[in-house]
Every structure is written in C-alpha cells, then in structure tokens.
Chains A and B, each alone.
Chain A
Amino acid sequence: MRVILLLTAMLAWPAFGQVDFTGEWAPAYHEDGPERLPGPELGDYMGIPINDAARARADAYDADRISVVTEYECRPHSADYGMRGLGDLRVTREINPATQELIAFHTYMPAWGSVRTIWMDGRQHPPPYIEHTWQGFSTGVWDGNTLVITTTHLKANYFRRNGIDSSDQRTVTEYWTRHRDYFTVVTHVVDPVMLTEPLVRSQNWTLDPGQKTQRMFCEYQPEVPGAPGAVPNHLPGTNPFLHEVADWYGLPYEATRGGAQTIYPEYKLTMPKPDKAPPEKCERFCVCTVLQDCNLHAVPPR
C-alpha cells in the first residue's frame, strides 16, 4: 500500500511546463502584416541585406510572371519562407514504436500543402549532389529548451514575393522555442549568392487546437495572355514601378533599395529625406493585421 501511495505521489508531481511543439498553431501577423498577407509592394527591398546581384534581379521582376509562367503559378513556399508566409501550421511527432525514441517532427501547412520532415535521429545530411526540394533536408538537435534545426538542399525560392529571391545555395538555421502557448521560430539564413550577411527574422504563432485543416489545390491556368515561353520582365533601368513604394509611404527611395547598410540603427543618422513630400496620412493597407481587414484603402478595424 505504501508503494502504491508513493507511486501515486510521484505521478502527482507538480506539472512543470514541457517543450512540446506538437499541435495546431495559428500565425500572428503582428510584424510585416501587409507583406505577408496581401503581399509586398513592388520595389520594397527594405530590411533585407541583399547584394547588388539580388537587387538587379529583383528590379527585373514583373508581377505578371506569376500569372503567365506556369512554373511560377503554383510555386510552393519553401521551408524558410513558409514560416514567414501565409497560413496555419500543424506539428506532429513520429515515434519509433519499438524504441519509443523520437524519429522526427513533421509539419503540415495548408498553403501549397507543404509537408516537411525534421529528422531527430542523428542522421547526417546527404551529399551536395542530392536533389534539392522545396522543403529541403532538415535535422534538429536540442540546445536546452530550444530546438535548433539545420536545413540544406533547398530549391531557390523567395525572401520576399516581389522578386527578392533566395538561392538554392542557402543554409537555413531555425531556432524553435515555446513559452506557454506562444511558439516562436527564428529563421537565420545564410545565402552566399543573394545576401551580404545573414537574414534573421522571427515569426510567432499561438496554440490553436481544433483547427479544421484545409486542403489547397492549385491549378495551372493561363491567367494573362502571353506568348508561349515568355517570361515577363523589365530590362535594366526600365522598371517604372520601383519608386511607388517610396512615394506611397513617404520614404527615401534609397532606403527602399535594401542592403546591409540600411538595417542598422545608425543608418537613421545618414538616411536622406524622402524624394517626394509624404502623404498626410496612410492610404494603403492601413489596418492590415488579419486577412479580412487587409483592404487596400483604410477602414476602421471591425
């Protein structure tokens, strides 16, 4: 009897929090909401430490590309951009039934039906010549209460969906932490092709059990007339849309061009004045925090 009582006492040990990422999570778009919900403005390269080549590539981007080029129409979000982009998230664990050891975390995001595996069994990354995929090859290790995930073998994708692309040479390190019902994912991207220093952003989620997870289908359809094989683009120096974002939001054009020099606080000391007088008040996506409120023109929140 005393043993039973003691075991009962052990089972009733005070409940400590545990690091459990499994479950369904809803994204909080409380940072960069307009970029992540309706989508970024053309010419907005702010806050991204791109190099000159990435900037030139972005300047050549024409938004018709996603309507004309079928390969772009249903282009999935990659492992890193998916965490930044649109939609809910489900995390599950895969347990080896024989050993009860954790084999992997799996994530599912309805956006583009993205399925991802994060191997936790100590396996090595494959050699460089192995195929690159949208979700890449991910392995995780614990650092205290933080899950550190390294992802390689990614296909080229987005840093921002307005022509700022990531390369297939990038390595993504993620840091997952959970505090109470808040889940934070820090994404640290090293891309020697497109960036001059790591791109570090963090995304937040709240526990949202009971989600009725959706399925997403994407059909290739010619949405805009275009010549077969044509890739809409702007030749160097001909893109007429690059100044719009500066003018709409009262910003200096130079600052909208991005680059590492613009992301540090001291840039405020040398930042030029806006090229045009700023509008008196916000006119675009002014209360955009959830998709239903992301109207182009401002209305009070519901």
Chain B
Amino acid sequence: MRIARLSAAALLSAAGILAQPPGAPGGPPRAPQTARAAAPVDFTGYWVSPVMEDWRWRMVTPLKGDFASIPINRAAYDFGMAWDPAKDEAAGLQCKSYGAPAIMRVPGRVHMIWQDDNTLTIEADAGTQTRLLHFNSKAPSGEAPSWQGYSEANWERPVRGEGDPRNDFPPIFSTRTGARGKSLEVVTTHLRAGYLRKNGVPYSENTMMEEFYDYRTAPDGTPWFTVTTVVHDPKYLVVPFITSTDFKKRPDAAGWHPTPCSAR
C-alpha cells in the first residue's frame, strides 16, 4: 500500500513536472520571451575595470617578447618576436589588439545597452569598439570576419534536478543547490586575426571564444560583474587561454573617454 501511495504521488508529481516547460517550474506555458524581458540581471550601464591583475601587461605596452601567462606555442612565439607596430600602422591595422578576445582586458570603461529586444551592445571607450551580443540568432552565412566577430548570446539555462522545488515531494528525487541561473553566456566566432596582447601575441582567424558574465553585488552594495573569457585557438595556443576580468558599476558616464586604436 505504501508503495502504491508513493507511486501515485510520483505519478501526480511527474505529471506536474512533465506539464511544465523547462525553466518555468510551476507556471503555465508562456510565449517565448525576448532576451531583454528574460534578463535575470541588468547588465546595462557604465562599468569600469580597475586593473588589479596583469597590470604591467595591460596598463603599458609590454616589451617585445614578453609573452608571460599566455599559453602560446612556438609559432605564436616566432610571430610575436616579429611584432612591428610601425608596420601595423602603415597597414592600417592599429586595432589588432582591440578585437573581441582582447578588448575586455584593455583598460577602459564599457557601456552596455540594449540595441533592441534581442541584441545587447557592449561599447568600449578604448579603441572606440562596439560588440553586438545576438540572442536567439545564429551568424548569417557569409558573415565577414571582423575585429569583434559574431557573438551568439544566451542566458544560462536554469539548473534543476528531478525533484519538485515546490514541495520537495516525492523525496526520491532531488532538487539542486545553486539552481537559479543568472549568467550571460556568449560564443564569438568570425573573428579577424588579431593580438591577444598589444605586443603582438597573435590569435588566428579560426579563434572561437567563450565568455561567461557573472553579476554580483559587493558587500558595500556596488554592482560588479566578472567576465570569464576562454579563447580557443589551435593555431597559436597549446591550451585554451583563460582570463577573468572584473568590472565595477559607475553611476554615470563620468570618465567615459573614447580613444582611437593605437598600435603602440
């Protein structure tokens, strides 16, 4: 009898679970939301990155051959040792170190705004660059390579277990800790070859970049976010290049200082 009751309860609970769309426990089916409406946190506004890591590789142009901390291979080493900023300037390639795999590490401020309901824009004052994060969209065929590439974005899917978080019943299935997703995930491709570091550490046109944006509130109430960046480039890296960059919210545009790209 006990088993029968449990099975009946499981049946009811399962029926409830199976009736729900993933990510919307307890609610009736809903029309698809726009990315802006579905945003679990608000990344919009002005942000500054205090440079408390990699200072001498970010705040100044490092010496030729200073490739420390980047898991480069021999081909990248040789490429970097041939770095010639004058040559880049002559070729109009001053923005090679401002591409998507590098721009979030370049000291400066970023301004994040919704261009439309499914496109989040990241403007960077360093190099006057603009990134477009496309939700619910794939790169069009024939998309031309560019410094910022094509970025597909999505809100991290809520994590859930087989259990029903409304009543923890039946107890044979589990709910999960840390289960409410609130991160922004971005994958960027279609990149024009550029530099991971201003002194000529290369990434190739075959680079794929993953990013994870995590929002938080500091103990003093200030919003921050950290973007974890994973650069995959089998041509020049021996393992994925992983960095994480911290940004602090600013109340307004004070300090916003757009500058052109510089090769030096």
Contacts and interface: CB of A to CB of B under 8 A. Distances in A.
B7 interface: yes
A179 B218 contact: no
Interface in B132-174: 156-162, 173
B69 A281 contact: no
B134 to A, nearest CB: 19
B160 A188 contact: no
A287 B107 contact: no
Interface in A258-302: 262-269, 271, 278-282, 285-290, 298, 300-301
A159 to B, nearest CB: 10
Given A173-B219, A184-B226, A298 B179 contact: no
A286 B178 CA distance: 40
A3 B183 contact: no
A201 B173 contact: no
A16 B157 contact: yes
A199 B218 contact: no
Given A16-B157, A144-B180, A281 B65 contact: yes
A11 interface: yes
A301 B177 contact: no
Contacts of B76: 301
Contacts, number: 235
A265 to B, nearest CB: 4
B66 interface: yes
Interface in B106-131: 107-109, 126
A204 B63 contact: no
A133 B78 CA distance: 48
Contacts of B245: 202
B177 A14 contact: no
Interface string B57-68: 001101111111
Interface string A66-91: 00000000000000000000000000
A18 interface: yes
A234 interface: no
Contact of A249 (B52, B63, B157, B214): B63
Interface string A231-255: 0000000000000000001110001
B26 to A, nearest CB: 16
A142 B181 CA distance: 11
A9 B242 contact: no
Given A30-B242, A47-B53, A300-B74, A145 B159 contact: yes
Contacts of B126: 265
A202 B65 contact: no
Given A18-B159, A19-B176, A177-B214, A33 B69 contact: yes
B73 A301 contact: yes
Contacts of B216: 143, 146, 148, 175, 186
A224 interface: no
Contact of B68 (A177, A202, A287): A287
B108 A265 contact: yes
A145 B242 contact: no
